Structure 1
């Protein structure tokens, strides 16, 4: 589900003073955040309360203390942010509760994102007890060119993604592991993969499109099911690279063609699979573009153009959760209306329940929606 356009990262400059000496470095933010205007140096002598007050006053803190202490400071800042919500959560309205939760998380992320670290021109992190981050940063950002400042939370995300990239994610339906790159949505929710594995193929199907391929997991699954030509697309350059690598690693390099940036490739296919972002909303990073579909543009384009890309007996497989409907973010009539306008009919549906931990977390503010959520594969045909 890495179905997203990669953010264009423009390295602006960030300035601060260190021991009365002016300093500057490139500013790098994967979510496109502007460089902070006020930056002060901080180390182990700064208490969590002091750090929180400085951040709330508008300053960003460039961490120069111990690495592990910096991680502990992030946790302490998170606890303080959680103690002071911006307003009381709505009691019953799930849509309002969802918007409140997103706003709360944005505020929290802004506070945690005000703790910064500097990477030198070789991606070395010059902090006491710091791990070697050079390989992880090179994998995420490409070759180093100059020193840069990033948020501590972004660096931790880079390190976490690199571990996934090294160890891979087991996909039972595929009988193998796939290896997600940084900025590409990881297929840790297996129910949508299982639906694609279980859906009956149209009689005589040989070709398929996998739209918004991400890691390439669904393209690989279609190849494993015997389709002889699979074209996988994405608009995220990182996803295109990741899908090619996974196809080659799994032995499907000759079967799977990865192309982009685009949603639909040229031509027609017997099966066209699309697993668009499940929630309407504005994403703030490449990973969020795997969750939030701005103006529902991907869903709309997939349905509107599907008929022109199906063979006469072909099927389009739309894999989508109903969480948006449960939260009031999308009308239950929205998808049927789009299908009717596009001249499509629903031949069949396959439905399953999510199995991820949040689906049974009663403390989740959106528990009422998550416990009722279903994921459906719609088998669509031209009318």
Structure 2
């Protein structure tokens, strides 16, 4: 692990550096406490100087919130003189440009807010006034403590994210497609995308299964990029007795194992840590790749951003080699990238054809998440038009 260095009371210090988004350790670190003003902290953070907190924990949270308000503050527009151009007269900005500016703003926000740092003891304890006992949440995210002298430093935002993930992991997310409560909850782990968007799960729960033989018990399914294991669980609950779920992320593998076990379907689902496909063929090969062809800036964003459409194109290119005769590939994909100008429908269909695939059918669903109706969101126009589809793909006749 990388290390972070700073001077405190004339003494040089070193600790392990932890950053969930993979940021390098800051080169400049100053000590901050309850006397540090939000304006001073904001100025330092914007310059790239990190603030290692030594004051009250709750005051650090308030400071972080104050920094967020400063980052998010939109300058008030000056009143236009009569006769000058209005917003309606301004040329339309391409959505791809809006998206790129939005991502740049998000990255800048993450950099500034990531400059408030906390010290962690070797057992993940936090020696600050009124600090919570977050050792379990840290262990779930960072792994068990394996050393007695591993003091570390991490951004406060990371800790707050780990605490939130720990609470969601305990509570779970109810998934209607898995049946009646209480045996229908998925418990997402830290760093694994939560299935809070139910429309794509409902599509998998209702799409007609391909015929595998005299009995559906003969049907074998692959779930590529399983994440929490939610779609494998849905397939198992639909009566498929052999599902192979894959993922390359160790956190997702552990999460899927835990969820499938607590849902009582682990005997039907084998979980493998591989990139894309397991060995063999299946009557149904399912994939819900990241929907936007852009570069992720943190591990959790790999569930949303697929740089260069690597996973999407990899799935399409290898699909026919892993389908049984008359088998189907199910691609769950939002068209948000099309509305953002990041990919066209023609390019998607061309990718199907290049992989030797034909469209057997398509089922659509309108997202119902909060951002779809939030008119203040920078990407509202694209989100309001978004449709999530389950594409049923088969091998083209030769």
Structure 2 length-normalised TM: 0.91
Secondary structure of residue in 1 paired with 2:211: coil
Q: Note if 1:37 corresponds to 2:27.
A: yes
- Which of 175, 178, 195 is equivalent to 1:187? 195
Partner of residue 83, structure 2: none
Q: Please give the residue correspondences for 1:72-87 in structure 2 after superposition, counting only pairs within 5 Å.
A: 72-83=62-73
Q: Note if 1:375 corresponds to 2:388.
A: yes
Partner of residue 310, structure 1: 323
- Which of 362, 371, 382 is equivalent to 2:375? 362
Secondary structure of residue in 1 paired with 2:72: helix
Q: Deviations over 1:172-221 (max 9, x none)?
A: 10120011111111101111100000100012341100000000000000
Partner of residue 8, structure 1: none
Which residues of structure 1 form unaligned runs of 5+?
1-10
Partner of residue 286, structure 1: 299
Q: Note if 1:167 corresponds to 2:171.
A: yes
Residue pair 1:90, 1:97 contacting (<8 A) in 2 also: no
**Cα 1:354/1:90, change in 2 over 3 Å:** farther
Q: Deviations over 1:223-253 (max 9, x none)?
A: 0001110000001011011111111111111
- Which of 218, 228, 253 is equivalent to 1:215? 228
Residue pair 1:208, 1:227 contacting (<8 A) in 2 also: yes
Residue 91 of structure 1 and its aligned partner are, at CA, apart by 5.1
Residue 14 of structure 1 and its aligned partner are, at CA, apart by 0.7
Partner of residue 23, structure 1: 13
Q: Distance in 1 between matches of 2:47 and 2:320?
A: 55
Residue 54 of structure 1 and its aligned partner are, at CA, apart by 1.4
Residue 93 of structure 1 and its aligned partner are, at CA, apart by 1.7
Q: Please give the residue correspondences for 1:35-74 in structure 2 after superposition, counting only pairs within 5 Å.
A: 35-74=25-64
Residue 66 of structure 1 and its aligned partner are, at CA, apart by 1.1
**Cα 1:73/1:90, change in 2 over 3 Å:** farther
Residue pair 1:63, 1:115 contacting (<8 A) in 2 also: yes
Q: Distance in 2 between matches of 1:36 and 1:92?
A: 35
Partner of residue 4, structure 1: none
Residue 58 of structure 1 and its aligned partner are, at CA, apart by 2.5
Residue 84 of structure 1 and its aligned partner are, at CA, apart by 6.2
Q: Note if 1:299 corresponds to 2:307.
A: no
Secondary structure of residue in 2 paired with 1:292: coil
Partner of residue 81, structure 2: none
Residue pair 1:91, 1:97 contacting (<8 A) in 2 also: no
- Which of 151, 158, 182 is equivalent to 1:154? 158
Partner of residue 277, structure 2: 264
Residue 149 of structure 1 and its aligned partner are, at CA, apart by 0.5
Q: Distance in 1 between matches of 2:187 and 2:72?
A: 33
Secondary structure of residue in 1 paired with 2:386: coil
Q: Distance in 2 between matches of 1:77 and 1:284?
A: 21
Secondary structure of residue in 1 paired with 2:208: coil
Residue pair 1:29, 1:151 contacting (<8 A) in 2 also: yes
Q: Distance in 1 between matches of 2:56 and 2:295?
A: 36
Q: Distance in 2 between matches of 1:107 and 1:284?
A: 11
**Who wins on radius of gyration, i.e. which is larger?**
2
Structure 1 length-normalised TM: 0.94
- Which of 248, 257, 265 is equivalent to 1:244? 257
